[in-house]
Chain A
Amino acid sequence: MTTPTSTAVPAATRRAVLLQGNEAVAEGAIAAGARFFAGYPITPSTEIAEVLSRRLPEVGGTFIQMEDEIAGIAAVCGASLAGTKALTATSGPGFSLMQEMIGFATMAQIPCVVVDVMRGGPSTGLPTEPAQGDVMQARWGTHGEHSVIALVPSSVEECYTLTVEAFNLSEQYRTPVIILSDALIGHMREAVVLPEPGTLRIAERGTPDCEPDEYDTVTSTLDNILPRPPLGSPFRVHVTGLVYNRRSGAPDTSDPAAAADLGRYLREKIYHHRDAIVRVEEVEMHGAEVAIFAYGSVARSAMAVVRKLRAEGVPVGLVRPITLWPFPTLAVDRMAEQVRTVIVPEMNIRQMSWEVQAAVRGRAKVIDYGRVDGKLITPDEILELVKPEFYYHSWEDA
């Protein structure tokens, strides 16, 4: 008889593997415990579906190619209500089709993960080229007052780790979580050492800490968000897109106080935990006089500029939101108090720079720089924006 041996080896000796961003999202989903994918293929997200169509059956999961994106996310909501961690993946046009159901999932508090691998748009646009034009669609694409969580990977490794994180946040806060990748990150291959299984935190759904017949007597609070029991369990659950009573879950559209209670709760259950949710990477911000605020693939170009200029003694730093929504207000506050100029390069026209400007509130100059031709902003372009901010620096000698 053979006994299974541990495959655990120290991270340092684990071999790097070459993975594409989209493959890393798929593997991250498997690692997070996702066992259901439904969606409709679209460039540049298709590899996520392709890999999961092979991998999910291997781990006892289910893959369904639906007739369109609306059906895709509807099936994902159904799977999640039945107790299974579920995701879908798409690009801009499909993300638009999903917006109504993202609102339903927000209202009905259904944990799920939606991956939007952004490409040039609107419409069919530039199907194979990267863009960041959906960052506001992620925030405001669905209707009604709502909160949202959106994460932006800058590397293949983050495609993996942030997918795990997205599932954790969606389970913890019972809400859809959006991953905003792009055509460049999604199709890029990098040598990565993936975290050892077991070293990543995995949030499980759990069951309510009460008897089934007591379930409609307890109410979630901001600090104790009760898990939803799966459909078919002894717990009686009510799922509706209507405004509902937060205790019983039953529709109640006649009581303004109940509607206000739910509306504020759906927003505050995210914003109350903003500090725990929001992650920002601050690079070389010590003594920085100018900051570059950049996310996703553009942050890589910004990083190249910061490295180059710091080596020349020019005090430039990078603020890279990993969580784009909720907006990283605290980090932007710190930045606004410190630097005289914030440069916001992005592959859209002013979508996040408006948000940065609002948060900076005049404490620093905000320079926006947009590109919408499907090409990644280069380090040289960012460098040209930085130079005039250091007019006293002898650039010819640099």
Chain B
Amino acid sequence: MAERAGTGAAGSDAAPAARVEMRCSGSGGQGILLAAAIIAEAAAALGRRVVQTQSYGPEARGGASKAEVIIASEPIDYPEVQHPDVSLVLSQAAYDKYAADTRPGGLLIYDSGLVEPDPADESVVRCGLPFTQAASDELGKKVVTNIVALGALVAVSGALPAAAVLEAVVSRVPPRFRELNEQAFVLGLRLGEEALAMLATSSAARTS
């Protein structure tokens, strides 16, 4: 079984999950809030119920901050996420503070160049990818790391159709950065799909 954290299949016609809770975390300035807002924008455009909240300190840069999204078919009362189905982690500080909340069996996506996860933690499906490195090496712009990570999150979690999220990316960034962000998103999708294939293989190996 390919682990998809129970969020439905990416880009397929499968019915969306009744409720998906996601948390993007990192340090101030990494753009995790924008990533969460884009996910929420895409979900809203698809007619899903969605709530997006955020928590950050008074500082503009640094610190551990998080932004959360709940996508559901029922009304969303309590708006915060306690045990995310999907966690995206872009800094060690955010990992230390937030990763342990991830629902058992949930999906933990992290920047493998910045985060060293606890090797003993087998309760979640781990997916480490070099987002910052890839943004820097392949696009020459570290600033789009969040959009690369967003692409991978969409590919691995299958929470929303990639096309809808790409449309939200385009609508949220200034026109002159549109192409760069499209490239970043597609790069993230590719990284995510490769990781998904490897997860499926290792999962099959484990169960055989």
- Which residues from chain A sit less than 8 Å from chain B, CB to CB? 15-18, 43, 127-129, 184, 187-191, 297, 300-301, 303-304, 307, 376, 378-379
Does B177 touch A at the CB level, under 8 Å? no
20 example contacts (A-B, Cβ-Cβ < 8 A) are as follows: A16-B44, A18-B41, A18-B50, A128-B55, A128-B57, A129-B55, A187-B53, A187-B54, A188-B51, A189-B51, A190-B50, A190-B76, A191-B48, A191-B50, A297-B79, A301-B77, A307-B77, A378-B78, A378-B80, A379-B78
Q: Please name the residue on chain A nearest to B38 by beta carbon.
A: A18
Q: A17-B44, A378-B82 are in contact. Are A304 and B52 (CB under 8 A)?
A: no
Given A128-B57, A191-B49, A376-B79, 15 other A-B residues pairs in contact with their CB atoms under 8 A:
A17-B44, A18-B44, A18-B45, A188-B52, A189-B50, A190-B76, A191-B40, A191-B48, A191-B50, A297-B79, A301-B78, A304-B77, A307-B77, A376-B78, A376-B80
In the complex, what's the smallest C-beta–C-beta distance from A90 to chain B, in angstroms?
17
Alpha-carbon distance A189/B78, docked complex (angstroms): 13
Compute how far the CA of A129 lies from the CA of B79 in the bound complex, rounded to whole angstroms.
14
- List the B side residues contacting A191 at CB < 8 Å: 40, 43-44, 48-50
Assuming the contacts A16-B47, A18-B41, A128-B57, asked whether A189 and B52 have C-beta atoms less than 8 A apart, the reply is yes
Contacts of B44 in A (CB 8 A): 16-18, 191
CB distance A184 to B53 under 8 Å? yes
Query: What chain B residues lie within 8 Å of A307 (beta carbons)?
Result: 77
CB distance from A153 to the nearest CB of B (A): 13
Q: Which residues of A contact B82 (CB under 8 A)?
A: 378
Known: A128-B55, A189-B51. A304 touches B40 (CB 8 A): no
B54 to chain A: closest CB distance in Å? 6
In this complex, which of B37, B43, B79 has the most chain A Cβ atoms within 10 angstroms of its Cβ? B79
CA of A297 to CA of B53, assembled, Å: 12
Interface size for chain B: under 10, 10 to 19, 20 to 34, or 35 or more residues?
A: 20 to 34
Q: Return B103 CB to nearest CB of chain A, in Å.
A: 15
Across-interface contacts of B52 in A (CB, < 8 A): 18, 188-190
Are A128 and B56 neighbours in the complex by a CB distance under 8 Å? yes
Q: Please give the residue numbers on chain B whose beta carbons come within 8 Å of chain A beta carbons, in ascending order.
A: 37, 40-41, 43-45, 47-58, 76-80, 82
Are B40 and A300 in contact (CB-based, < 8 A)?
no
Least CB separation from B69: chain A residue: A189
Q: B161 CB to closest chain A CB, in angstroms?
A: 16
Select from chain B the residue with minimum beta-carbon distance to A43: B58
Q: In the complex the two chains form, is A190's CB within 8 Å of B78's CB?
A: no
A188, A191, A307, A376, most chain B CB atoms within 10 A: A191
Complex alpha-carbon distance, A300 and B80, angstroms: 10
Q: Which residues of A contact B79 (CB under 8 A)?
A: 184, 188, 297, 300, 376
Contact among A189, A301, A379 for B37, CB-based, below 8 A: A189
Residues of A within 8 A of B40 (CB): 18, 189, 191
Please determine whether A188 and B78 come into contact, CB atoms closer than 8 angstroms. Answer: no
Give every chain B residue within 8 A of A187 (Cβ-Cβ): 53-54
B51 / chain A contacts, CB cutoff of 8 Å: 188-190
- State in angstroms the CA–CA spacing of A304 and B56 once bound together: 25
The answer for the CA separation of A15 and B55 in the assembled complex, in Å, is 28
CB-defined contacts of A128 to chain B, threshold 8 Å: 55-58
